Structure 1
Amino acid sequence: MESLLSRSWEESKKTWHIAGPAILGSVFQFSISFVTAAFAGHLGAVALAAVSVAQNVIEGFAYGALLGMGSALETLCGQAVGAGQIHILGIYLQRSWVITLATATVLTPLYVFTAPILKLLRQPTDISEVAGEFCVWVIPQLFAYAVNFPLQKFFQSQRKVWVTTEIAGAVLGLHILLNWVFVVRLGHGLAAAAVVGNVSWWLINLAQMVYLFSGCFRESWTGFSLLAFQNLSAFAKLSLASAVMLCLELWYYTAVIILVGYLKNPDVAVAAISICMNYQIWALMIALGFYVAVSVRVSNELGANRPKAAKLSVVVALTTSLLIGTVFMAVALIFRKKLPEFFTDAPEVINEASKLGYFLGAIILLNSIQPVLSGVAIGAGWQTSVAFINSACYYLLGLPAGAVLGFKLKLDELKEAAKAEERVREWEGRVELQSISRR
Structure 2
Amino acid sequence: MQTDSNARAGTGEPASGSPDRRVSAPAWVPSDDGFAGATDRQVLVVGDSVAGLTLALLLGRAGYDPLLAAGDGEGSSSRLAYLWPPALRVLAAVDAGGPVLDRARVVDDVSVHRVGAGSAEPATFSRAADGAAAPPVVVPTPALRRTLRETLSGRVRLDRTVETLSRHDGGLTAEFDGGVREWFDAVVDASAGTPALGPPGTGPGDTDAGVTLVQYETVLGDDDPAPNRLRDAWWPGVLVQHLPHPDDGGRLLRVTTAGRDPRAALVEDGPDGPATRGGPDPEAVAAALAGAEPAGRRRVRLPPAAASPARWGRGRIARCGGAACPFAPASGFRASVAIEDALALVSRLARGPRSAAGAVDAYARDRARRVGTIRTRARAALPDHGYPVPDGDRSRLAALGVLRTVALGPFLGGALPSLQRDGFE
TM-score, normalised relative to structure 2: 0.26
Choose between structure 1 and 2 for higher RCO, CA contacts under 8 A separated by at least 6 residues.
Answer: 1
| Greater fraction of residues in strand | 2
TM-score, normalised relative to structure 1: 0.26
